[in-house]
Amino acid sequence: MSEEESPAERVAIGISFGNSYSSIAYTSGEGKAEVIANEEGDRQIPSILSYVTGEEFQGTQAKAQLVRNAKNTVAYFRDFLGQDFKSIDPTPCHNSAHPLQHESTVAFKIKDKEDDTESTVTVSEITTRHLRKLKNSASDYLGKNVNAAVITVPTNFSDAQKEALSKAAKDAGIEVLQFINEPVAAVLAYDARPEAKLADKNIVVADLGGIRSDVAVIASRGGMYSILATAHDYDVGGAQLDQVLMDYFAKEFLKKWKNGGDPRSDDRASAKLKLESEAVKKALSIGSSANFSVESLSKGFDFTCSINRMRYETISAKVFAAFTRLVLNAVEKAQLDPLDISEIILAGGTAHTPRIASSLASAFPGSTTVLAPSTSPTAINPSELAARGAAIQASLIQEFETEDIEQSTHPMVTVTPHLARAIGVLCISSDESTGVFRHLVEAETPVPVRRTAIIATPREGGDVLVKICEGIRVIKVTKPEPKAKANGKAENDSDDDEDSDESDEEELREKTYKVENVLAEAALKGLSKGAKVELQINVAADLSCTFFAREVGGKVAVRGAWKA
Ligand code: ATP
């Protein structure tokens, strides 16, 4: 391939490249994103390469090699790109080829040749081989040579990591048009649906993967996205749930076969145990029970055992609680309250787990929608969100010249100034001293911004004062009245903790605004009864503001301007 294809010759796809799984997607003529299945029929392709006498396997076939051929099977390598050996965590690779230091980079010693000689293959070369396979699968499916892509990366991927990934892709014949952040890709996949309504809202994207979980709090304002806070955890992910099940089945195995040995202490048995535990975990996301069944699990003993969803949820309770905590921490880091969050998008394979979605739904107020397969019938498959978002972005930008795309290294995420406080309006009739604040522009909205609204005026009409104010969001907490008990003791005074936990009524938390500064005022005179007022606020990039207000249908508008 030439260095860069001209826009007309580009065939671009979206790639989500995770440590555990990768996906490829394209957009059809109507702009609809579809995830492509590879030759084996997989849409979630394990990011694993394995070599058997020079033959290269990828995906599910390579994953199966973890049992017999672990040393020549390379897995969990994405995060090693662009890093030196000292900064990586090799733990996830302990059942596959071990990463080692090679010059300034990370490499693997594997027998990848026909004659079975050992070679040192850098993580960059492994990535190139993996991406080449993905490119070939997409090219076969589309019937044309794919030569460009938008690739998703975590929000904390460093420039060095992106550079290394870009080079590895180029070596595979893929021009990286752009990297987009995984959570932004997920939001894009939702917002690109025809039924999506563009509203100003705060969204949490919880990307729950295999060996890491990443949470981003995103302000979506008029189709622009800004990341307000992120949180990353390398100790909670699908692998922890696999481990819980591995421990459970290992113990059950030992109960049944006293001389069977602990399958966790033998590499091959442990690999079988892990593969089957992961399959059981996935089955428990759909069914109420699942069967674990492995022939010759350890020391020649076969093992079959079933587990129901309730048992699984009990033994995994700590891990599930960690996911909820991570999401709540991210919201706190963004200095927001759960009441400020309109939507939680659950992304990543682990987001299929019903209990994770329901725990989050209980930790957030009823006004927060949890978009996951088990809580929302309209949810998009969480395993497909990143690739789909990347494909949508690819279709939007593939016609641009490379230099124009490069202008924005953080597409879709604004770096423009933001409003620190909400701006809203108080509409007060002449005989009142206060009014109800109605917010028009949320805090964190990037400027310039324009908002229009039609607001009701006090019923009597007459003279009305419109005040444009800044507002600070406050959470109003109303404690329930203590109920008198039959024995005369107030319920909340109960000494018995368990009892009080059950009977405590929850406090009521509401989102309201505290009016801070009045920025401008306009008097509208002689309005008719029940009149409505049309308002428009413009905040320019230099934070200078203009507004106008007029009675709907009326001819006279009041205008004002101020500098924030
Ligand atoms: P990472 O980089 O953190 O390893 P990834 O982006 O490569 O993650 P994902 O596909 O998002 O990987 O998540 C993989 C995890 O999701 C694995 O632990 C896998 O077992 C789990 N998973 C996939 N499908 C399901 C399912 N239906 N139910 C529960 N867990 C699932």
**Residue of 17, 20, 42, 156 with the most ligand 1 atoms within 8 Å of its CB, for mutation:** 20
Q: Which atom of ligand 1 is least distant from the CA of 20?
A: 7
Minimal CA–CA distance to 427: which of 351, 273, 534, 293?
A: 534
Q: How far apart are the first and last CA of the chain?
A: 53
Minimal CA–CA distance to 466: which of 355, 404, 548?
A: 548
CA triplet 204, 169, 41: central angle to 5 degrees?
Answer: 70
pLDDT greater than 70 at residue 429: no
| Rounded Cα gap, residues 66 and 275, in angstroms | 9
Mean pLDDT of 408-432: 66
Mean pLDDT of 129-139: 98
Q: Which atom of ligand 1 is least distant from the CA of 208?
A: 11
pLDDT greater than 60 at residue 495: no
pLDDT greater than 60 at residue 296: yes
Q: Are 226 and 444 in contact (CB under 8 A)?
A: yes
Q: How far, in whole angstroms, is CA 21 from its chain's centroid?
A: 15
Q: Which domains does the chain have, with CATH numbers?
A: 7-182+386-406 (3.30.420.40), 196-234+322-380 (3.30.420.40), 238-315 (3.90.640.10), 422-474+510-563 (2.60.34.10)
| Rounded Cα gap, residues 172 and 151, in angstroms | 14
Mean pLDDT lowest for which of 159-168, 205-214, 502-511?
502-511
Pocket of ligand 1 (CB under 6 A): 18-21, 44, 209-212, 237-239, 278, 281-282, 285, 348-350, 352-353, 383
Residue 158 Cα to ligand 1 midpoint, Å, equals 23
At 69-127, the pLDDT tens digits run: 999 999 999 999 999 999 999 999 999 999 999 999 999 999 999 998 999 999 999 99
Cα–Cα distance list, 197 to 190, 191, 193, 283 (Å): 10, 7, 9, 34
* 497 confidence band (pLDDT: 50, 70, 90): very low
* 480 confidence band (pLDDT: 50, 70, 90): confident
- 158: amino acid identity, one letter: S
Minimal CA–CA distance to 188: which of 378, 375, 9, 33?
A: 33
Length of the chain: 564
Mean pLDDT, the chain, whole residue set: 89
At 215-245, the pLDDT tens digits run: 999 999 887 888 999 999 999 999 999 999 9
Q: Which atom of ligand 1 is least distant from the CA of 44?
A: 10
* 35 confidence band (pLDDT: 50, 70, 90): very high
Q: Give the residue carrying structure tokens 């008097």.
A: 523
6-15, 52-61, 400-409, 529-538, range with greatest mean pLDDT: 52-61
Residue 348 Cα to ligand 1 midpoint, Å, equals 6
Minimal CA–CA distance to 23: which of 157, 190, 151, 113?
A: 151
Q: 3-state DSSP call for residue 407?
A: coil
For residue 317, what are the contacts with CB-CB under 8 A and spacing of at least 6?
none
Please give the pLDDT value at position 433.
58
Minimal CA–CA distance to 393: which of 144, 153, 180, 174?
A: 180
Q: Are 427 and 457 in contact (CB under 8 A)?
A: yes
Q: Are 165 and 130 in contact (CB under 8 A)?
A: no
Output the pTM of the full model: 0.85
Over pLDDT 90: what percentage of the chain? Answer: 64
Q: Which atom of ligand 1 is least distant from the CA of 76?
A: 4
ipTM: 0.99
Indicate which residue's Cα is closest to atom 17 of ligand 1: 210
Residue 478 Cα to ligand 1 midpoint, Å, equals 40
At 252-283, the pLDDT tens digits run: 999 999 999 999 999 999 999 999 999 999 99
- CB atoms closer than 10 angstroms to residue 51: 25
